[in-house]
Amino acid sequence: MCTENITRWCHLVSTSTPPEASKFLERTPGSRRVFEEASRYFPGGVNSAIQYFRPYPIYMVKGYGSRVWDVDENEYIDFCMAYGAMTAGHRNPAIVEAIREQVAEKGTLLGAPTPEALALAKELRKRIPALEMLRFTNSGGEATMYAVRLARAITKRDKIIKMEGAYHGAHDYLLISDKPSKYALMGSQHVPASIPDSEGTPEAVAKLTLVAHFNDLDCIEYLLKKHENEIAAIVTEPIQTNSGVIPPEAGYLKELRRLADYYGVLLIFDEVKTGFNAAPTAAHQLYGVEPDLITLGKVIGGGTPLAAFGGKEEYMEEITPIGRVVHYGTYNANPLSAAAGLACITKVFTEDTHRRMAELSVKLAKGLKEVAQDAGLTVAITQVGNMGSIFFGLDRAPRNFREAYRADKKLWYRWWLGMLAQGIIPYGGAWFEEWFISAMHTEEDVEKAIEASGELFRRFTRH
């Protein structure tokens, strides 16, 4: 991105949403300079598109606990927490010590199986009975990709169903109708269209991914009937994220389980984001519904690259070298990530810790609702476990992405920029992300976020 364009965006932001944007620009000249240089090396100046926002991203240099610091030495209370991956807290001492010991005494990558990976697998299976067997990978996207491949091999079918607005990784199988850019392209209210989110997605692959509405059993059964004996799996989060936080309605997941069994398709729960965040272990356990396959990520790596897919033993034994479903990876289950993950799960994510995180999340949700009402703003708030989200302009919680999409995104952006300018990252840099409470957040952190939001909300209703 050329300097000319950066200057144009800075001017646009500073003049279109004052005073929130002006203060942001004043606080972050160092990030702007780094962005100008980084844009000569990385497309958009970043290495993941979600890290980019207008006029430029904030470049961070360090974190500790619930705080991060940028190149301008600004301190922020962090409610993004690396999109839920760092909810143990930045530089959590227990994880730092585990990593230090592994690096200093054992090594980072040995090119062979290690006891560390086995220890983490045993701990995960103890906490999540649905994980009868599992395999580790390096990212949540890899985990969902392998889960879909496995489901297709087991069922000898090619098509899958996913939910509109749900993100399951950047691979061709599931990067369909993640965030359709225009409402007119989304398809009918009854059945969403299958829209590739990226250029370069083969049309033949996109046609194999069918799209349904979350919380809409009629829509899902319509697709199951229409494509009977062609669908391998239903892929969904038990609580939809990346559309804000959208909880399942009462009985929805149990009926989804029944439909999957009736039509002979596998039920895959993507718990990369919800696992150990929305619940003390896996979110599906909150609802008493067990999937055939499950994916995990983020928290289980303790801030290092680690994910997993697993499920019923009879299905997992289809993977090489026992079966014929290929799964490879040089860095899979590397002992550094396994050691960090084991420390995170056993030493940080206790039931008491998660209970406290959830209580702070409830406090934040209630506080945001109260200050919005006091300011005369209409908002809907959703919250499960340590996660939550705010929808400006909605008078009730959305049931699915289509309803969430109607929220006031421009007002969300003003709130988000305004919070950054006050030293608070309220959540990831898009309206469809969520907040996360970590094991190292305090009541004071939450109170500051509520107070800062209240100031902004009052300003919004005055102007």
**Alpha helices in 72-113, H assignment, sequence order:** 81-84, 93-105
**Alpha helices in 173-308, H assignment, sequence order:** 203-206, 217-226, 252-262
3-state percent helix, strand, coil for the chain, nearest multiple of 5: 45, 15, 40
CA atoms within 13 A on the CB side of 163: 29
Question: In 10 A of CB 314, how many CB atoms?
Answer: 11
| C-alpha closest to that of 425 among 85, 72, 67 | 67
- Distance CA(366)–CA(372), nearest Å, equals 10
Tokens for 19?
Answer: 């005073």
- Distance CA(273)–CA(301), nearest Å, equals 12
Residue 292 has what DSSP assignment? S
Give the phi and the psi of residue 199 in degrees, each rounded to 5. -60, 150
Query: By the 8 A CB rule, do 175 and 194 touch?
Result: no
Catalytic, 270? Answer: yes
What are the C-alpha distances in Å from 223 to residues 102, 228, 254, 262, 348? 49, 8, 18, 13, 42
Catalytic, 167? Answer: yes
Active-site choice (270, 292, 408, 445) = 270
| C-alpha closest to that of 454 among 360, 363, 370 | 370
Active-site choice (159, 298, 405, 413) = 298
Catalytic, 448? Answer: no
- Distance CA(17)–CA(25), nearest Å, equals 12
| C-alpha closest to that of 218 among 240, 190, 248, 192 | 190
Q: Which residue has the tokens 């995170």?
A: 344
- Distance CA(372)–CA(242), nearest Å, equals 23
DSSP lists the bridge partners of residue 296 as 271, 308
Q: Which residue has the tokens 């290092």?
A: 304
Active-site choice (52, 83, 167, 427) = 167
Tokens for 102?
Answer: 């592994």
- Distance CA(233)–CA(165), nearest Å, equals 18
- Distance CA(241)–CA(243), nearest Å, equals 5
Catalytic residues: 167, 270, 298
